[in-house]
A and B are shown apart, each in its own frame.
Chain A
Amino acid sequence: MLQTIAFYLFATLVVASAVMVIMSRNPVHSVLWLILSFFNAAGLMVLVGAEFIAMLLVIVYVGAVAVLFLFVVMMLDIDFASMRAGFVRNAPLGIAIALVLLAELVLGIGAYRAGALILGTPDGTAAPLLFESNIESIGALLYSRYLFLFESAGIILLVAMIGAIVLTHRERPAAHRRAHQDIGKQVRRNPKEATFNASPEIGKGIDL
């Protein structure tokens, strides 16, 4: 009973906030609605018992990816009016992609009674969990049976990191660069070496 209520609460909020993502005029509002949508999706994940996935959804999507989105829309100060001007020109491509997505959705929904994919029965008898928590179950499979996929994920992350640096990092001209600070050197300096007393003769001066 409570689960049903919770499901409809989360599901309604996911759909409603997803609609708001595309309906709101301000891109910052869009991102915030997207965050609400992610958050409720995490709630749905908890309801099906995937607590680890739910937490990951919040940590990775809400805590990291959406922060980047927010950075981009808040700080890039993009002129969205000029971007909308290209709407008509890009419309055919957009419609094509939309059609592909629609076809996928229809196929996906059409497959609802195809069977075969039995993850578990409502009374929890089939497909018993081998380990006490599903984090352990994921770990036990990911790092043994699916290790190739796992390592490929590592390669993709590496490419992403290098790509991000190549795209966004630029060397500053030497004139604008701050002098390099070697903290170790500063800490090692002791007063005996740093200062000395001298009593030069008048008119001679000292060499530094």
Chain B
Amino acid sequence: MTETFQDWGMTYEWAWGLATLAGVLLIALPLMLAVAMIIYMDRKVWAAIALRRGPNVVGPFGLAQSFADGLKVFLQETIIPSAANKGLFLLAPILTFTVALAAWAVIPFNSGAVLADINVGLLYIFAISSLGVYGVVISGWASNSKYPFFSAMRAAAQMISYEVSIGFVIICVVLYAGTFNMNGIIVGQIGHGLGVFNGYAFNLLLFPMWVVFLISSLAETARAPFDLTEAESELVAGYQTEYSSMSFALFWLGEYANVLLMCALNAILFFGGWLPPINWEPLYAVPGFIWLFAKIFLFFFIFSWIKATVPRFRYDQLMRLGWKVFLPMSLLFVVLISGWLMLTRYDCGDAGRVYVSTVPVTEAGVLYRDGQSAANLWDGRCVDDLPAVEREFVS
């Protein structure tokens, strides 16, 4: 986009700044629109499964329902309970929504179409989504009321429990991809399944990890069947009980933005993101973002479907699943996958590996650092990986 603005006669800095700003707005605003539509979709799917009609009054097919709801909450009075901790009470929804939006900065929508193409993209998402816990805990504590507080405790323990297994699943994917860059992970999936399918989920070793990830992402976003944080029969409305008006709506928006993010991660990590599902030339004619959106919608449909059909877990069952099933399982798969890759991909072949004694100290500028010989750095590496200068010494 920078080039377009430059063509209009701007200097590079201005063009870059404007392009970035446009990119940010191009992600943030459609995302909010998407959240509004996805709430509608959620309610429709849920209604259809329960043989009801769902929202059908406002606008054609009830499409404008979410906007009507939005206008309603916007005009409502913001109630701040007198016992609440005012500053923190208002900070909590701000934090929730900011965090939910910010994670989208590194999601690639097409080859090269990513706002921030950083090396540690996946870690950034992991880091930002681990901040989600604060919005919940702060809102529960600042409300100074019984039900929000219980709910916040439950939510915090639940989120951190499942974050552990999500971390290990991410490691499994990264082992295969060899990078934390989101585009790198997607490109690594081209033809991964038998040379035909694009996606890590078509790998026998990674398929179970996808199942773990899908279920963990339900738990991480506190969707049914893990919605113990707002179990209506026990906790009124969960940590948002005391909230009203737009601050209440922000929790919902943030929650759905997080759900969408998790759907996007499912698509990117295991189903090839913006790649077409099958590695077949004509399919690449369809723009990448359409494939990505189609996959996100598919996963969101699965999320709604689960919400409509599966009964809620009990809290001890939830903890047992996270700590006693998913954690050991994902740990085992880290070992299995890395071992398999060591045997197949990282085996050095005939050339073998170098050991310190075989590499003489070199003066070659590139490998010389901190005043120490680079030899130690190359200890145990494949001979084939050595730079040409070094390889001569070894062979």
**Direct chain A–B contact by Cβ atoms under 8 Å:** yes
A residues with a Cβ closer than 8 A to B are 28-29, 32, 35, 51-52, 55-56, 58-59, 62-64, 67, 70-71, 74-75, 127-128, 130, 132-135, 140-141, 144-145, 178, 181, 183
* Contact residues in B for A35 (Cβ distance below 8 Å): 134
Kindly state whether residue B123 has any CB partner on chain A within 8 Å: yes
Establish whether residues A130 and B367, one from each chain, have CB atoms under 8 Å apart when the complex forms: yes
A32-B88, A51-B119, A55-B127 known; A130 and B369 CB under 8 Å? yes
Q: Which 10 A-B pairs have the closest CB atoms?
A: A63-B130, A58-B127, A55-B123, A133-B119, A59-B127, A55-B120, A55-B127, A74-B141, A51-B120, A127-B369
Residues of B bordering A, CB below 8 Å? 85, 88, 118-120, 123-124, 126-128, 130-131, 133-134, 137-138, 141, 153, 156, 160, 163, 179-180, 316-317, 366-367, 369-370, 374, 376-377, 379-380
Taking CB atoms, residues of chain B closer than 8 Å to A75 are 153
Residues in chain A near residue B153, CB distance under 8 A: 75
Q: Quick one: closest A residue to B380, CB to CB?
A: A144
Q: How far is it, in angstroms, between the C-alpha of A62 and the C-alpha of B119 when the chains are bound?
A: 21
Q: Is the CB of B366 within 8 A of A140?
A: no
Chain B contact surface mostly: helix
- Complex alpha-carbon distance, A121 and B119, angstroms: 22
- Evaluate contact between B156 and A71: CB separation under 8 angstroms: yes
A62 cross-chain contacts in B, Cβ below 8 A: 127, 130-131
Measured between beta carbons, the chain A residues less than 8 angstroms from B141 are 28, 74
A to B CB contacts below 8 Å, 22 in the list: A29-B88, A32-B88, A35-B134, A52-B123, A55-B123, A55-B127, A58-B130, A58-B131, A62-B127, A62-B131, A63-B127, A63-B131, A63-B133, A64-B160, A67-B137, A67-B160, A70-B134, A130-B367, A133-B180, A144-B376, A145-B376, A181-B316
Which A residue sits closest to B141, measured CB to CB? A74
Question: When chains A and B are docked, how far (Å) is the Cα of A62 from the Cα of B141?
Answer: 18
Residue of chain B at shortest CB distance from A129 = B369
In contact, A141 and B377 (Cβ under 8 angstroms): yes
What residues of B have a CB within 8 angstroms of the CB of A183 in the complex? 317
Give Cα A132–Cα B370 distance, bound, in whole angstroms.
18
- In the complex, what distance in Å separates the CA atom of A32 from the CA atom of B163? 21
Which of A59, A74, A128 makes the CB contact (< 8 A) with B123? A59
In the complex, what residues of A have CB within 8 A of residue B133's CB?
A: 63, 67
Q: Which residues from chain B contact A70 at a C-beta distance below 8 Å?
A: 134, 137
Q: Which of B126, B137, B156, B377 contacts A140 (CB 8 A)?
A: B377
Q: How far is the CA of A83 from the CA of B335 in the complex (A)?
A: 47
CB distance from A120 to the nearest CB of B (A): 10
Chain A nearest Cβ from B118, distance in angstroms: 7
Looking across the interface, which residue of chain B has its beta carbon closest to that of A117? B370
Contacts of B123 in A (CB 8 A): 52, 55-56, 59
Q: How far is the CB of A156 from chain B (nearest CB, A)?
A: 19
Q: Which residue of B lies closest to A55 (CB)?
A: B123
In the complex, what's the smallest C-beta–C-beta distance from A132 to chain B, in angstroms? 8
- A132 CA / B380 CA spacing, docked (Å): 19
Residues of A within 8 A of B366 (CB): 128, 130
Tell me which residues across on chain A come within 8 A of B317, comparing CB atoms. Answer: 183
Q: How far is the CA of A73 from the CA of B156 in the complex (A)?
A: 14
